[in-house]
Structure 1
Amino acid sequence: MTQTRDDNVTWLTQEAYDRLKGELDHLTGRGRVEIAEKIEAAREEGDLRENGGYHAAKEEQGKMEARILQLTEILRTARVGEAPRTEGVVGPGMTVTIRFDGDDEEVTFLLASREESGAPIDVYSPKSPLGAAINGKRVGDHVSYQLPNGRSLGVEIIEAVPYSGA
Protein backbone atom coordinates (compact mmCIF):
# COMPACT_ATOMS: atom_id res chain seq x y z
CA MET A 1 0.00 0.00 0.00
CA THR A 2 1.33 3.37 -0.87
CA GLN A 3 0.24 6.96 -0.92
CA THR A 4 0.69 9.34 -3.80
CA ARG A 5 2.08 12.81 -3.42
CA ASP A 6 -1.60 13.82 -3.42
CA ASP A 7 -2.38 13.27 0.26
CA ASN A 8 -6.06 12.73 -0.59
CA VAL A 9 -5.44 9.35 -2.26
CA THR A 10 -4.21 6.19 -0.57
CA TRP A 11 -3.04 3.53 -3.01
CA LEU A 12 -3.70 -0.01 -1.80
CA THR A 13 -2.97 -3.42 -3.18
CA GLN A 14 -6.11 -5.52 -3.53
CA GLU A 15 -4.84 -7.69 -0.66
CA ALA A 16 -4.35 -4.68 1.64
CA TYR A 17 -7.77 -3.25 0.71
CA ASP A 18 -9.49 -6.58 1.42
CA ARG A 19 -7.62 -6.95 4.75
CA LEU A 20 -8.55 -3.45 5.92
CA LYS A 21 -12.16 -3.80 4.73
CA GLY A 22 -12.43 -7.12 6.60
CA GLU A 23 -11.07 -5.51 9.77
CA LEU A 24 -13.54 -2.62 9.45
CA ASP A 25 -16.46 -5.00 8.86
CA HIS A 26 -15.52 -7.01 11.96
CA LEU A 27 -15.08 -3.94 14.16
CA THR A 28 -18.36 -2.33 13.09
CA GLY A 29 -20.24 -5.62 13.40
CA ARG A 30 -19.16 -8.36 15.79
CA GLY A 31 -16.49 -6.17 17.44
CA ARG A 32 -19.05 -3.61 18.62
CA VAL A 33 -21.34 -6.37 19.89
CA GLU A 34 -18.49 -7.99 21.85
CA ILE A 35 -17.40 -4.73 23.50
CA ALA A 36 -21.01 -3.87 24.41
CA GLU A 37 -21.32 -7.30 26.05
CA LYS A 38 -18.09 -6.73 28.03
CA ILE A 39 -19.31 -3.32 29.22
CA GLU A 40 -22.70 -4.73 30.24
CA ALA A 41 -21.12 -7.66 32.11
CA ALA A 42 -18.79 -5.27 33.98
CA ARG A 43 -21.72 -2.95 34.79
CA GLU A 44 -23.51 -5.83 36.47
CA GLU A 45 -20.57 -6.23 38.86
CA GLY A 46 -21.65 -3.14 40.77
CA ASP A 47 -20.01 0.19 41.67
CA LEU A 48 -18.59 1.63 38.44
CA ARG A 49 -16.16 3.98 40.21
CA GLU A 50 -14.04 1.06 41.42
CA ASN A 51 -14.77 -1.37 38.62
CA GLY A 52 -11.51 -1.99 36.74
CA GLY A 53 -13.19 -4.29 34.21
CA TYR A 54 -15.70 -1.61 33.29
CA HIS A 55 -13.04 1.08 32.82
CA ALA A 56 -10.84 -1.28 30.78
CA ALA A 57 -13.78 -2.17 28.53
CA LYS A 58 -14.68 1.50 28.01
CA GLU A 59 -11.05 2.27 27.12
CA GLU A 60 -11.01 -0.65 24.68
CA GLN A 61 -14.23 0.69 23.16
CA GLY A 62 -12.64 4.11 22.64
CA LYS A 63 -9.61 2.60 20.92
CA MET A 64 -11.85 0.47 18.71
CA GLU A 65 -13.95 3.48 17.67
CA ALA A 66 -10.77 5.43 16.84
CA ARG A 67 -9.57 2.54 14.65
CA ILE A 68 -12.98 2.44 12.93
CA LEU A 69 -12.63 6.14 12.07
CA GLN A 70 -9.08 5.60 10.83
CA LEU A 71 -10.06 2.63 8.63
CA THR A 72 -13.11 4.46 7.29
CA GLU A 73 -10.94 7.39 6.18
CA ILE A 74 -8.27 5.16 4.62
CA LEU A 75 -10.86 3.18 2.66
CA ARG A 76 -12.78 6.35 1.69
CA THR A 77 -9.70 7.73 -0.07
CA ALA A 78 -8.38 4.37 -1.33
CA ARG A 79 -7.61 3.44 -4.88
CA VAL A 80 -6.73 -0.16 -5.66
CA GLY A 81 -3.71 -0.51 -7.90
CA GLU A 82 -0.25 0.94 -8.01
CA ALA A 83 0.74 4.55 -7.50
CA PRO A 84 2.40 6.15 -10.52
CA ARG A 85 6.16 5.59 -10.20
CA THR A 86 9.25 6.67 -12.09
CA GLU A 87 12.50 4.78 -11.65
CA GLY A 88 15.17 7.03 -10.16
CA VAL A 89 12.61 9.34 -8.51
CA VAL A 90 11.72 8.76 -4.85
CA GLY A 91 8.01 8.32 -4.23
CA PRO A 92 5.49 6.04 -2.54
CA GLY A 93 5.81 2.45 -3.68
CA MET A 94 9.52 2.77 -4.30
CA THR A 95 12.33 0.80 -2.71
CA VAL A 96 14.79 3.50 -1.70
CA THR A 97 18.45 3.18 -0.74
CA ILE A 98 20.10 6.09 1.07
CA ARG A 99 23.37 6.86 2.81
CA PHE A 100 23.43 9.11 5.87
CA ASP A 101 26.10 11.80 6.06
CA GLY A 102 29.16 10.54 7.93
CA ASP A 103 28.20 6.87 7.50
CA ASP A 104 29.46 4.46 4.85
CA GLU A 105 26.59 2.02 5.37
CA GLU A 106 23.57 2.15 3.07
CA VAL A 107 19.97 1.78 4.31
CA THR A 108 17.23 0.34 2.08
CA PHE A 109 13.49 0.61 2.79
CA LEU A 110 10.07 0.79 1.17
CA LEU A 111 8.51 4.26 1.10
CA ALA A 112 4.84 3.49 1.74
CA SER A 113 1.96 3.91 4.14
CA ARG A 114 2.27 2.24 7.53
CA GLU A 115 -0.73 0.10 6.64
CA GLU A 116 1.63 -1.90 4.42
CA SER A 117 3.08 -3.54 7.51
CA GLY A 118 3.25 -6.94 5.83
CA ALA A 119 6.13 -5.90 3.58
CA PRO A 120 9.26 -8.03 4.04
CA ILE A 121 11.45 -4.90 4.34
CA ASP A 122 11.31 -1.85 6.61
CA VAL A 123 8.54 0.58 5.69
CA TYR A 124 9.00 4.34 6.11
CA SER A 125 6.01 6.63 5.78
CA PRO A 126 6.09 9.38 3.14
CA LYS A 127 4.77 11.63 5.93
CA SER A 128 7.73 10.93 8.25
CA PRO A 129 10.45 13.60 8.40
CA LEU A 130 12.82 11.49 6.27
CA GLY A 131 10.07 10.38 3.88
CA ALA A 132 8.83 13.93 3.35
CA ALA A 133 12.39 15.20 2.74
CA ILE A 134 13.24 12.64 0.05
CA ASN A 135 9.82 12.35 -1.63
CA GLY A 136 10.11 13.61 -5.22
CA LYS A 137 13.92 13.76 -5.13
CA ARG A 138 16.14 11.95 -7.62
CA VAL A 139 19.02 9.49 -7.36
CA GLY A 140 22.19 11.45 -6.59
CA ASP A 141 20.32 14.24 -4.76
CA HIS A 142 21.49 15.21 -1.30
CA VAL A 143 18.87 16.47 1.17
CA SER A 144 18.67 17.35 4.84
CA TYR A 145 15.80 16.77 7.21
CA GLN A 146 15.11 17.71 10.80
CA LEU A 147 15.35 15.10 13.54
CA PRO A 148 12.94 15.10 16.51
CA ASN A 149 15.69 16.64 18.68
CA GLY A 150 15.86 19.64 16.33
CA ARG A 151 19.18 18.77 14.70
CA SER A 152 19.49 18.26 10.94
CA LEU A 153 20.77 15.14 9.24
CA GLY A 154 21.78 14.86 5.60
CA VAL A 155 21.22 11.90 3.31
CA GLU A 156 22.23 11.02 -0.22
CA ILE A 157 19.79 9.10 -2.40
CA ILE A 158 21.63 6.11 -3.86
CA GLU A 159 18.80 4.22 -5.57
CA ALA A 160 15.01 4.44 -6.11
CA VAL A 161 13.32 1.53 -7.89
CA PRO A 162 9.72 0.32 -7.96
CA TYR A 163 8.96 -2.10 -5.13
CA SER A 164 8.76 -5.64 -6.45
CA GLY A 165 7.07 -7.18 -3.40
CA ALA A 166 9.90 -9.57 -2.64
Structure 2
Amino acid sequence: MNKVPMTVAGESRLRKELEQLKGEARPRVIAAIAEAREHGDLKENAEYHAAREQQGFIEGRIQEIEGKLGSAQVIDVTKLPQTGKVIFGVTVELLNLDTDEQMRYRIVGEDEANIKAGLISVTSPIARALIGKEEGDVVVVKTPGGNVEYEIGGIEHI
Protein backbone atom coordinates (compact mmCIF):
# COMPACT_ATOMS: atom_id res chain seq x y z
CA MET A 1 0.00 0.00 0.00
CA ASN A 2 1.33 3.43 -0.92
CA LYS A 3 1.78 5.85 1.94
CA VAL A 4 0.19 9.26 1.46
CA PRO A 5 2.03 12.26 2.97
CA MET A 6 0.08 14.26 5.55
CA THR A 7 1.04 17.06 7.91
CA VAL A 8 0.64 16.76 11.67
CA ALA A 9 -2.16 19.35 11.55
CA GLY A 10 -3.95 17.39 8.81
CA GLU A 11 -3.80 14.18 10.83
CA SER A 12 -5.06 15.97 13.93
CA ARG A 13 -8.01 17.44 12.00
CA LEU A 14 -8.99 14.01 10.64
CA ARG A 15 -8.71 12.39 14.08
CA LYS A 16 -10.97 15.08 15.60
CA GLU A 17 -13.54 14.56 12.86
CA LEU A 18 -13.40 10.80 13.41
CA GLU A 19 -13.92 11.23 17.16
CA GLN A 20 -16.89 13.53 16.52
CA LEU A 21 -18.46 11.09 14.07
CA LYS A 22 -18.01 8.07 16.33
CA GLY A 23 -18.77 9.81 19.63
CA GLU A 24 -21.58 12.18 18.70
CA ALA A 25 -23.00 11.77 15.19
CA ARG A 26 -23.24 7.96 15.14
CA PRO A 27 -25.07 7.65 18.51
CA ARG A 28 -27.40 10.53 17.56
CA VAL A 29 -28.42 8.90 14.27
CA ILE A 30 -28.88 5.49 15.94
CA ALA A 31 -31.24 7.12 18.44
CA ALA A 32 -33.11 8.83 15.59
CA ILE A 33 -33.54 5.49 13.78
CA ALA A 34 -34.85 3.86 16.97
CA GLU A 35 -37.30 6.71 17.51
CA ALA A 36 -38.50 6.59 13.89
CA ARG A 37 -39.08 2.82 14.13
CA GLU A 38 -41.46 3.43 17.01
CA HIS A 39 -43.71 5.45 14.69
CA GLY A 40 -44.82 2.30 12.89
CA ASP A 41 -44.86 1.46 9.15
CA LEU A 42 -41.29 1.87 7.87
CA LYS A 43 -42.25 1.96 4.17
CA GLU A 44 -43.86 5.38 4.46
CA ASN A 45 -41.77 6.74 7.32
CA ALA A 46 -39.75 9.67 5.97
CA GLU A 47 -37.96 10.21 9.29
CA TYR A 48 -36.73 6.62 9.26
CA HIS A 49 -35.47 6.82 5.69
CA ALA A 50 -33.74 10.14 6.33
CA ALA A 51 -32.05 8.77 9.44
CA ARG A 52 -30.91 5.63 7.58
CA GLU A 53 -29.52 7.79 4.78
CA GLN A 54 -27.66 9.92 7.33
CA GLN A 55 -26.34 6.75 8.98
CA GLY A 56 -24.99 5.56 5.63
CA PHE A 57 -23.23 8.87 5.10
CA ILE A 58 -21.69 8.80 8.59
CA GLU A 59 -20.52 5.19 8.30
CA GLY A 60 -19.05 5.90 4.85
CA ARG A 61 -17.18 8.94 6.13
CA ILE A 62 -15.85 6.97 9.12
CA GLN A 63 -14.49 4.29 6.77
CA GLU A 64 -13.00 6.93 4.48
CA ILE A 65 -11.19 8.70 7.34
CA GLU A 66 -9.94 5.43 8.84
CA GLY A 67 -8.59 4.47 5.41
CA LYS A 68 -6.82 7.79 5.00
CA LEU A 69 -5.30 7.62 8.47
CA GLY A 70 -4.23 4.02 7.85
CA SER A 71 -2.33 4.95 4.71
CA ALA A 72 -1.00 8.28 6.00
CA GLN A 73 2.67 9.02 6.43
CA VAL A 74 2.59 11.87 8.94
CA ILE A 75 5.47 14.26 8.39
CA ASP A 76 6.42 16.83 11.03
CA VAL A 77 8.27 19.49 9.06
CA THR A 78 9.59 21.15 12.21
CA LYS A 79 11.67 18.03 12.91
CA LEU A 80 13.20 17.86 9.41
CA PRO A 81 16.61 19.44 8.74
CA GLN A 82 16.32 22.81 7.03
CA THR A 83 18.06 22.35 3.72
CA GLY A 84 16.90 25.57 2.09
CA LYS A 85 15.02 23.52 -0.49
CA VAL A 86 11.31 23.26 -1.11
CA ILE A 87 10.00 20.08 0.52
CA PHE A 88 6.67 18.77 1.72
CA GLY A 89 5.17 20.95 4.45
CA VAL A 90 7.08 24.16 3.82
CA THR A 91 5.54 27.52 3.02
CA VAL A 92 6.78 29.06 -0.22
CA GLU A 93 6.57 32.67 -1.33
CA LEU A 94 6.27 32.98 -5.10
CA LEU A 95 6.38 35.80 -7.59
CA ASN A 96 4.55 35.29 -10.88
CA LEU A 97 7.06 36.73 -13.37
CA ASP A 98 4.35 37.45 -15.96
CA THR A 99 1.95 39.40 -13.73
CA ASP A 100 4.21 40.43 -10.79
CA GLU A 101 1.59 38.87 -8.50
CA GLN A 102 2.96 37.57 -5.22
CA MET A 103 1.49 34.50 -3.57
CA ARG A 104 2.20 32.30 -0.60
CA TYR A 105 1.45 28.56 -0.48
CA ARG A 106 2.05 25.77 1.98
CA ILE A 107 2.62 22.35 0.43
CA VAL A 108 0.38 19.79 2.16
CA GLY A 109 -1.21 16.38 1.57
CA GLU A 110 -4.01 15.91 -0.94
CA ASP A 111 -6.76 15.82 1.70
CA GLU A 112 -5.56 19.04 3.31
CA ALA A 113 -5.41 21.15 0.16
CA ASN A 114 -7.47 24.36 0.17
CA ILE A 115 -6.32 26.93 -2.36
CA LYS A 116 -8.31 29.74 -0.68
CA ALA A 117 -6.40 29.09 2.55
CA GLY A 118 -3.07 28.97 0.70
CA LEU A 119 -2.70 25.19 1.03
CA ILE A 120 -1.74 23.32 -2.14
CA SER A 121 -1.50 19.58 -2.65
CA VAL A 122 1.92 18.03 -2.97
CA THR A 123 0.61 16.42 -6.18
CA SER A 124 -0.48 19.73 -7.76
CA PRO A 125 1.46 20.99 -10.80
CA ILE A 126 2.84 23.97 -8.87
CA ALA A 127 4.05 21.87 -5.93
CA ARG A 128 5.60 19.24 -8.20
CA ALA A 129 7.51 21.98 -10.04
CA LEU A 130 8.68 23.54 -6.76
CA ILE A 131 9.87 20.41 -4.90
CA GLY A 132 13.65 20.35 -4.65
CA LYS A 133 14.14 23.96 -5.77
CA GLU A 134 15.78 26.72 -3.70
CA GLU A 135 15.13 30.37 -2.93
CA GLY A 136 15.82 32.52 -6.00
CA ASP A 137 15.18 29.68 -8.47
CA VAL A 138 12.79 30.25 -11.36
CA VAL A 139 10.36 27.41 -12.06
CA VAL A 140 8.10 26.86 -15.04
CA VAL A 141 4.69 25.41 -14.26
CA LYS A 142 2.71 23.84 -17.10
CA THR A 143 -0.92 24.91 -16.81
CA PRO A 144 -3.91 24.42 -19.13
CA GLY A 145 -3.51 28.08 -20.12
CA GLY A 146 0.17 27.69 -20.97
CA ASN A 147 3.46 27.82 -19.11
CA VAL A 148 3.76 30.18 -16.13
CA GLU A 149 7.09 31.24 -14.62
CA TYR A 150 7.46 31.75 -10.88
CA GLU A 151 10.44 32.92 -8.87
CA ILE A 152 10.83 31.47 -5.39
CA GLY A 153 11.07 34.43 -3.01
CA GLY A 154 11.28 32.61 0.29
CA ILE A 155 10.93 29.24 2.00
CA GLU A 156 9.65 28.83 5.57
CA HIS A 157 9.80 25.63 7.61
CA ILE A 158 6.81 26.22 9.90
> TM-score, normalization: structure 1?
0.66
Mapped to 2, the partners of 1:129 and 1:116 lie a distance apart of 13
Deviation, structure 1 residue 81: 3.0
Contact 2:125 2:141 in 1 (8 A): no
Q: 1:135 aligns with which of 128, 131, 146?
A: 131
Task: For structure 1, list consecutive stretches of 5 or more residues without a partner in the other structure.
Answer: 1-6
Q: Is the contact between residue 97 and residue 151 of structure 2 (CA under 8 Å) also seen in structure 1?
A: no
1:25 CA drift (Å): 3.1
Asked if the contact 1:96–1:157 (Cα under 8 Å) also holds between the matched residues in 2, the reply is no
Work out which of the residue numbers 3, 6, 31 in structure 2 matches 1:8: 3
Identical amino acids, percent of aligned pairs: 26
CA 1:93–1:80: 2 relative to 1, 3 Å: closer
Aligned partner letter, 2:95: R
Map of 1:144-155 to 2, 5 A cutoff? Answer: 144-146=141-143, 150-155=144-149
* Gap regions ≥5 residues in structure 2: none
Do structure 1's residue 162 and structure 2's residue 156 form an aligned pair?
yes
Indicate the larger mover: 17-26 or 64-73: 17-26
Q: 1:65 to 1:47 in 2, by over 3 A?
A: closer
Q: Is the alpha carbon distance of 1:151 and 1:12 closer, same or farther for their aligned partners in structure 2, counting shifts above 3 Å?
A: closer
Q: Give 1 or 2 for the bigger CA radius of gyration.
A: 2
How much does 1:108 deviate? 0.8
RMSD over aligned CA atoms reads 3.3
Q: Which of the pair is proportionally richer in helix?
A: 2
TM-score, normalised with respect to structure 2 = 0.68
Which amino acid is 2:138 matched to? D
Q: Which residue of 2 aligns with 1:98?
A: 94
In the TM superposition, what whole-angstrom CA distance separates every residue of 1:53-76 from its partner, at most 9, and x where no partner exists? Answer: 444433433332232223213332
Pairing of 1:61-140 with structure 2 (within 5 A) = 61-76=55-70, 77-79=72-74, 81-82=76-77, 84=80, 86-113=82-109, 114-115=111-112, 122-139=118-135, 140=137
